[in-house]
Amino acid sequence: MRRVVPFVALVAATWPAQGAVVTFYKDITPIVYLSCAPCHRPGEAGPFPLLTYEDVKKHAQQIVSVTKRRYMPPWLPEPGSGNFHDARRLTDEQIRTIEQWVTQGAQAGSPAEAAHRPEFTRGWQLGTPDLVLQAQAAYRLRADGADEYWNFVLPMKLAGARWVKAIEIRPGNARAVHHANVLIDRTRSARTQEKTLGAGFPGMDLSIEADTFDPDSHFLFWKPGGIPWEEPDGMAWRADSTIDLVLNVHMQPTGKPELVQPSIGLYFTGHPGTKFPMLVQLERDGALDIPAGDRDFKVSDDFTVPMDMDVLAVYPHAHYLGRLLEGYATLPDGSRKGLIRIPDWDVNWQSVYRYTAPVFLPKGSVVSMRFHYDNSDANPRNPNHPAKRVRGGNQANDEMGHLWLQVLPRDGEDRRMELQEALMRHRLDKYPGDFSAQFNLGALQLARGNAADAVRYLRAAVEARPDQPVALNTLGAALLSAGNAKDAASLFELALQSNPLYTNARYNLANALAEQQHWEQAAAQFRAVLTEDPDDPGARQHLGEVLRLWGDEMAAAHRLEDTVSHYRESLGFRQDDARLHSDLGTALAKLGRFREAVPEFETALRLDPHLDAAKHNLQAARARLEQAGEREAIR
């Protein structure tokens, strides 16, 4: 008999005792308030509210159906592979309780027994933002048809630099927007894809160009009902007046035309970013060539981590054919840690998943990505019926296989370059001759000052894509660093042929020409840079120097009229250069133009009273003027 008691207790714990009536207030409100209402309330993404007894009863059988299928609440990861913040998965017991409630007639019960109803905030969940950026124009979403992907470019409206601890995205139309991603565009490269400024541009995935290696390694993501993420101390990112935020939005038609005009709220902190996280991407897009009808096409990637690190968050990404998406790590001792496992991928509910506790990976651990795709007609999400061959690419009808990890190296140092190098070497192993691997390895070597190694990788990159202007420009920069100004200049010219408005390449060309003492050509290129960007401080300074040196060369050749002209133009950029004023005075004096020479010597001495040459020459010039004056008087 004694054995029976625990058994009965166990049954009672997992299944309400027979005869016990399940009621809305007592049994259902704890589930609904926590797992349904965050989205299903006015102003949020859920198509109807689920806050009151009447609300829930109006959808009771539907709720049974969608919870049993685990379509709602949407939560893709399987338990057992990673513990995540804000996990929305219902327990089996909760699902049974809902079903039992409906089977028993969906009774209300006593409101006194209800769970505490959370205070839901309307609008900005983190309070009033410090800065709000709104898309300039609303996107007009068609009433029906396929999903649409749109990129809004939002210029940062700031006077100086600030540190951002959190962003919150308000979709502008919660019913139509399925999820959104923000990318930080420090070179404002994405806006070149807009037909007119502020118009935005289409595309499911996009890449952002950067001119320095300082990757912004944060997942800035929005999904319906998600709680905005506040970065921990030391993980803030820098916002400057010169950057754009690019908001990539996935929209689904609702049956009527919709306007979508999202906003991003920024929350600042006084604590700057002191940690150096990095996004590590495992991927195998190059192997994605999925035959029509293939029900289980597999791709994999394995990356050995080059240092001790913590994994903070994971973001798996595939398009419509993805089915089973899995990531795990094999530690040096042979044990395996599950990072994430999604058995039935649904691009509509993609998300960033943040670990409740960082997942430690010792140096030498192998991170593995195993993705499976279903390109058969039996996959209802297949965008092609009948199925057809699908390859890797950015558009919705292409496929992707990415497993992104946000990692933080353990020792607190900035190890991003080292990590990037390991990633790019791995990429080169996967795709021999690959442009981006060789370009990035070259750029890394250049940043480290290894010009010779940089040239080797960059030459290979240019060979892979001969008219890629950024690669041509970077190879030119490496050659210039290695002391080969002549070849560098030719590379910058090629970059400019590919993109005549590539100001950086023009600036570099001007420098390469100056290096070769081709003053006239160098000055012409610097002037052109200033036409494109009149405030460029580097171009102003260098043009001043080039004109000065050109003037010196003319002086040595006794072409004093030219000397005067170049010195005068140079002074436009260096008014406070005492010696240049003095030298201009000397050239004028040599030409007998003492009346013009005297004020130059005077300015030189005002700027630098100890300039002996100017003192001497000023006296001489004044003496000559006096003599001339006496002669005039005698005449």
Partner 1 sequence: MHGLRFLLLWAAAAWGFGAVSGIVDLEGKAVDPFGGAAKVRIFIFLRSDCPVSNRYALELKRLSDEFGPRSAVFSMVYADPHETNKNIRQHMEQYRFPGAVIRDPVHSLVRRARVTITPEAAVFSAAGKLVYHGRIDNRFVELGKAMSTPTRRDLEDAIAAALDGRPQPEAYAPAVGCYLADVE
Query: Under the rule (CB under 8 A), what is the footprint of partner 1?
Result: 47-48, 54, 57-62, 65-66, 69, 71, 74, 143-144, 146-147, 175, 253-256, 346, 348, 380-383, 385
**Least Cβ distance, residue 283 to partner 1 (angstroms):** 25
Whose Cβ is closer to partner 1: residue 102's or residue 529's? 102
Identify the DSSP state of 176. T
Would you tell me how many other CB atoms lie within 10 Å of the CB of residue 337? 17
Supply the minimum distance, in Å, between the C-beta of residue 89 and partner 1.
Answer: 16
> Which of 258/583 has CB closer to partner 1?
258
Q: Residue 470: CB partners within 8 Å, gap ≥ 6?
A: 209, 439, 495
Q: How far is the CB of 378 from partner 1 (least distance, A)?
A: 10
Contact at 8 Å (CB) between 573 and 567?
Answer: no
Q: What are phi and psi of 222, to 5 degrees?
A: -130, 135
Q: Do the beta carbons of residue 323 and residue 373 sit within 8 Å?
A: yes
Nearest to 355 by CA among 219, 225, 249, 248: 219
- Please, what is the minimum distance in Å from the beta carbon of residue 50 to partner 1? 11
Q: What is the residue-wise DSSP string for 214-227?
A: ------EEE-TTPP
The CB-of-379 to partner 1 minimum distance in angstroms stands at 9
Bridge partners of 283? Answer: 402
CB of 475 to partner 1, least distance (A): 43
Sheet strand arrangement including 366-373: 297-304, 366-373, 322-330, 336-342
Distance from C-alpha of 125 to C-alpha of 228, rounded to nearest angstrom:
7
User: Smaller CB distance to partner 1: residue 74 or 469?
Assistant: 74
Least Å distance, CB 146 to partner 1, is: 5
**Residue 347 beta carbon to partner 1: minimum distance, rounded to whole angstroms:** 11
Own/partner long-range contacts of 443-448 (Cβ < 8 Å, ≥24 apart): 443/213, 443/474, 444/213, 444/417, 444/420, 445/478, 446/474, 446/477, 446/478, 446/481, 447/212, 447/213, 447/417, 448/417
Q: Where are the beta strands (DSSP E) in 252-401?
A: 258-260, 263-269, 278-283, 289-290, 297-304, 309-317, 322-330, 336-342, 353-361, 366-373, 390-391
Helices (H), 362-484: 416-430, 435-447, 451-464, 469-481
- Which lies closer to partner 1 via its Cβ, residue 57 or residue 486? 57
Complex with partner 1: residue 101 or 601, whichever CB lies closer:
101
The 3 state secondary structure assigned to 564-631 is HHHHHHHHCCCCCCHHHHHHHHHHHHHCCCHHHHHHHHHHHHHHCCCCHHHHHHHHHHHHHHHHHHHH
Are 234 and 151 in contact by the 8 Å Cβ rule? The answer is no
Tokens of 153: 């470019």
Rounded Cα distance, 72 and 63, in Å: 8
Measured in whole angstroms, how far is the alpha carbon of residue 34 from the centre of its chain? 32
- Please state the closest distance from residue 276 (CB atom) to partner 1, in A: 39
Helix (H) or strand (E) holding 522: helix 519-532
Strands of the sheet containing 309-317, edge to edge, are: 278-283, 402-409, 309-317, 353-361
CA angle, residues 264, 266, 270, in degrees to nearest 5: 170
Q: How far is the CB of 109 from partner 1 (least distance, A)?
A: 18
What are the φ and ψ backbone dihedral angles of 190, each rounded to 5 degrees?
-70, -35
Closer to partner 1 at the Cβ: 19 or 105?
A: 105
The conformation of residue 335, written as its DSSP 8-state character, comes to: -
CA–CA gap between residue 268 and residue 129 (Å, rounded): 8
Torsion of CA 299, 303, 308, 310, to 10 degrees: -20
* CB of 54 vs partner 1, minimal distance in Å: 8
**Of residues 173 and 499, the one with the C-beta less far from partner 1:** 173
Pick between residue 298 and residue 381 the one whose CB is nearest to partner 1. 381
Nearer to partner 1, 15 or 48 (CB): 48
Minimum CB–partner distance for residue 202 and partner 1 (Å): 16
Name the minimum Å distance from CB 460 to partner 1. Answer: 41
CB of 151 to partner 1, least distance (A): 21
In the bound state with partner 1, the residue whose beta carbon lies nearer, of 47 and 343, is 47
Nearer to partner 1 (CB atom), residue 3 or residue 69: 69
Bridge partners of 222, per DSSP, are 180
